[in-house]
Structure 1
Amino acid sequence: MAKGTPATQALQKAGVAFTLHEYDYDPNAARIGLQAAEALGLDPSRVLKTLMARADREPVCVVVPSDREVSLKRLAAAAGAKHAEMLPPAEAERITGYHVGGISPFGQRKRVRVFVEQEATAHATVVLNGGRRGLQVEISAADLVALLGAAVVSLA
C-alpha cells in the first residue's frame, strides 16, 4: 500500500488509517499546494501545505491550507518567540530529509514542534504531502494533530 517514504512508513508504524493520492507534480507551479489541489480535484482548504520555518533559533513545522498564507507574526506568538521566518529551501531539506515540494510533516529526519492552522481541523479528513513530489496522503484531521503532537493555532 505505502510507497515506501519515511512519511508513509511513520503512518503505518503508528497504525493510522490513510489513503494515498498520486498526481503529476509540476515543478514550475507558482504554488505547489494549489497545484496539488487542482490536480486531485480537491478543495484547496482541505489540501494542506507543509512549510518549515524558524521561530527565533528553533526550526518548526507549519501546516496550513494550501490557499492560505502564514502570518509570521502569529507563528512567532504561537511559538513563544520574538520573530519567525521561513527557512531557506536547503536548510528545510537538511532538517526534514525531504526535497522541497515533497516535504511531509511525518517521518522527518529531525523532530521539531509542529503548528497546524486551526481552519485545517474543520475538515473530517485532510490531504497533505506523503514524502515525495506527486504523492499525497489523506488522513483524519484528528489523527494529524494527535500523531504530530501539534499545536492547533490561528496562523493565517
Structure 2
Amino acid sequence: MTRDQHAPETPATRFLRQHRIPFSTHLYAYEEHGGTKVSARELNVAEHSVVKTLVMEDESRQPLVILMHGDRKVSTKELARQTGHKQISPCDPAVAQRHTGYMVGGTSPFGTRKSMPLFMERSILELPLIYINGGKRGFLVGVHPHDIVQTLKPQVVNVAIE
C-alpha cells in the first residue's frame, strides 16, 4: 500500500485497509464536470484504465452501481436486459449521494452507505491495474480489478458503448 501523506482518509480507504486490499493513492486537481478525461490527463494514464462508479436505478427506483471504463458509456438498455430489469436509468445526483454517502464526482464502490447490487464491465478484468475513485473528488486509488471481484463480488456484464 502506498500511503501518501496528503491522501484523505475516507470510508473507501478504510474499507480497503479493513479488507487488506493493496492500493495506491493518487491526488489530482479536480475540475467540475471534467470527469475521467481530466483525471486520466492529470495522472498521465489511459482514460480506459480510469474506472467510473455510476449509480443507477431500476424501474422500481431501487439503486444499483455499475463500474465502467472512463472512455466508455453504459448501454442502460443492455444493462437492464442482462440484469433482468425492465428499465435502468441514471440516478439523480442528490439521490445517488444519499445511497452512497459520496458526492457525485467522488463516488467510490468501496465503503458505500448502503449495500447495493454491483455490476462491472467485463473488459475491466483485462486490465492489470485500474484507477477508481477513492471517496473524494480529486482522489483516485489504484487497485487490481480482481481484488474488486474477490471483495465486492460484482456481477460481470458486457454493456459498454464506445
TM-score range, shorter chain: over 0.9
Name the structure 1 match of 2:54.
51
| Partner of residue 106, structure 1 | 110
Which amino acid in the other structure matches residue 51 of structure 2? L
Aligned to 1:90: 94
Deviation at 1:3, TM superposition (A): 2.3
Matched, 1:123 2:127: yes
Matched, 1:26 2:38: no
Please report how far the alpha carbon of residue 150 of structure 1 lies from its aligned counterpart in structure 2 after TM superposition.
0.4
Which amino acid in structure 2 is aligned with residue 55 of structure 1? D
Structure 2 Cα separation of the partners of residues 131 and 28 of structure 1? 17
The DSSP-based 3-state class of the residue aligned with 2:47 is coil
**Structure-1-length-normalised TM-score:** 0.95
Determine the C-alpha separation between the residues in 1 that align with 2:40 and 2:82: 27
Quick one: distance in 2 between partners of 1:53 and 1:135?
A: 22
Q: Find the counterpart in structure 2 of residue 3 from structure 1.
A: 8
Task: Verify the 8 A CA contact 1:55 1:79 in the aligned structure 2.
Answer: no
Question: SS at the partner of 1:3?
Answer: coil
> Size of the alignment, in residue pairs?
154
Distance 1:82 1:144 in 2: 27
- Taking the aligned partners of 1:28 and 1:102, their CA distance within structure 2 comes to 12
Secondary structure of the residue that 2:64 maps to in structure 1?
strand
| TM-score between the two structures when normalised by the length of structure 2 | 0.92
Match of 1:12 in 2: 17
Give the secondary structure class of the aligned counterpart of 1:21.
strand
Q: For 1:141 and 1:122, how far apart are their aligned partners in 2?
A: 8
| Percent of matched pairs sharing the same residue | 36
Offset at 1:28? 4.1
Distance 2:63 2:22 in 1: 28
Query: Which 4+ residue blocks in structure 1 deviate beyond 6 angstroms?
Result: none
Partner of 1:153: 157
Contact 1:55 1:75 in 2 (8 A): no
Cα deviation for residue 77 of structure 1 reads 1.7
Structure 1 residue matching 2:42: 3-state secondary structure = helix
Looking at structure 2, the residues matched to 153 and 85 of structure 1 have their Cα atoms a distance apart, in angstroms, of 16
Query: What CA deviation, in whole Å up to 9, does each residue of 1:39-84 have, x standing for no partner?
Result: 1110111100110001222210010000000000111122210110
Q: Is the 8 A contact 1:113 1:150 kept in 2?
A: yes
